Amino acid sequence: MKTITMKFGGTSVGSPEAIQNVVGIVQAAYEQGNRVVVVVSAMSGVTDYLLESVRLAEKSDKWGYLSLSQKIRDQHDEAINRLISPGVLRDQTHHRIQKLLEKHVELCDAINILGDATPRVIDSVVSLGERMSSKLVAAALKAHGLDAEALDAGKLLITDDAFQNAMPNWQETEKRIQEQLLPRLEEGIIPVITGFIGATPDGTYTTLGRGGSDYSAAIFAAYVDSDEFIIWTDVDGVMTTDPRLDKRARVLPHISYQEVGEMAFYGAKVVHPKTVQPILNKGIPIWVRNTFNPNSPGTLITDEIRESATVIKAVTHVRNISMLTVSGAGMLGVPGIAGRTFLATAKAGASILMISQASSEQSFCFTVPDEKAQAVKTAVEDELRAEINHKNVDGVHILQDVVIVTVVGAGMRGTPGVAGRVFTTLGNHNINVLAIAQGASECSISFVIDEKDLKNAVIQLHDLALETVTNGI
């Protein structure tokens, strides 16, 4: 008997037809004698509706957030009515969804009165999407004769109180999963768990950051000692690049934890960047498969770095970033400038995606999300005020309308000429590189270019990823 943890994303539970596919997939695995853990996202569009309802409540637009609550109700009611026959189970499911939607309106009313929503309240509102979908999917499984039970991750995944981007309390989470989740699996129950959310020790809902359902599912996969972790999504697997930019994108049959981590961090949307972290030490294989094409084998992700016909496996990108440059002739040999800059950036609440420094130490640059750029600039200039006043530092300059492009492939390690080939290709197509970074692992090369050059850069570099390599690059 194998234990399989399956995570279904928003599109995979986004319609009655999609949920019917989920039921078929889970039923097939269960009837093969496997223990199955199911983790679900909110129905597609619901998280956006919930966030928008918070914004409308802050503007005292009661009609607006009531209308959105009704849209969410209609979406779930349609699914319930189409998936579950009339009777007690259908009535119970309607009632449970209705209670959560009443809670939604209560929270929005409170925000309306206060005129402001704290991160804590936002997490409480957003958690409702997964709490509704877990009840809906569990009921759909029950309607097909499966012993399923909706479980609230707020009782299992215990976190700190960093609302909207909470960190798990690993020890307490493992304890709760062993005490509450494992016994249900032993009884043959299929738990349907809310993705994306957790709770503080006192039961206050938190979220793990947008897209965190993969991450939370990986935590459950690790602590139930899964034999497989399958991420069911709406594409056939991890692609060599974004098919919206290059239609030649193809599915990678296998990729390593390290490679997929780099891809996820630098823009590949199919897997959350933190997904690998909980299961890395346990070596649990991850599959990325398509809910709507379950016969496709998908992509297998393991700790093994397999030889590939291509040195570069994938090309990814990150949009909506700004590049900040700190420069000044007086910086040469002055210790601590970079450290203080990055500390100020962290205090401004921004994550740094890439760093590049000139060997002369007279300048360095780094990238942050667009919406944080101005706050970071202000924070860094305040931190370096004395150096700026003494003309040792010229200031902090923001460059917008740029993107990060990353080429990924473990085969690049030890293969001479890869970086040269990459940048020669860009130069031959008149694409100017603004900054470059390569990690010590040599698994990826990242660089910043103008956003207008993105599509051309991806297409040209994807050519390298599609080339068959016979003797180096």
- At 139-153, the pLDDT tens digits run 999 999 999 999 999
* pTM for this prediction: 0.89
DSSP assignment of 274-328: TTTGGGTTTT--EEEEETT-TTS--EEEES-----S-S--EEEEEEEEEEEEEE-
- Cβ atoms of residues 68 and 17 within 8 Å: no
pLDDT tens readout for residues 6-44:
999 999 999 999 999 999 999 999 999 999 999 999 999
Contact, 36 vs 188, CB < 8 A?
A: no
Domains and CATH numbers, the chain: 3-234 (3.40.1160.10), 314-466 (3.30.2130.10)
Contact 447, 405 (CB under 8 A): yes
**Strand-pair partners of 193:** 39, 151
CA gap 138, 38 in Å, rounded: 9
Beta carbons of 126 and 207 less than 8 angstroms apart: yes
Q: SS3 for 433?
A: strand
pLDDT reported for residue 53 = 98
pLDDT tens readout for residues 263-286: 888 877 778 778 888 888 899 999
* Cα(177)–Cα(218) distance, integer angstroms: 13
Q: Tell the residue number behind the tokens 């309802």, with chain if given.
A: 53
pLDDT of the residue at 472:
41
Q: What's the whole-number average pLDDT of the chain?
A: 91
Kind of pairing, strands 395-408 and 205-207?
A: unpaired
pLDDT at 310 > cutoff 80: no
Residue 73 to residue 167: CA distance in whole angstroms: 31
Mean pLDDT of the region 191-219: 93
Q: How far is CA 183 from the centre of its chain?
A: 29
Residue (of 259, 359, 253, 269) closest to 9 by Cα position: 269
Return the percentage of the chain with pLDDT > 70, whole number.
95
Model confidence band, residue 471 (pLDDT cutoffs 50, 70, 90)? very low
Q: How far is CA 291 from the centre of its chain?
A: 18
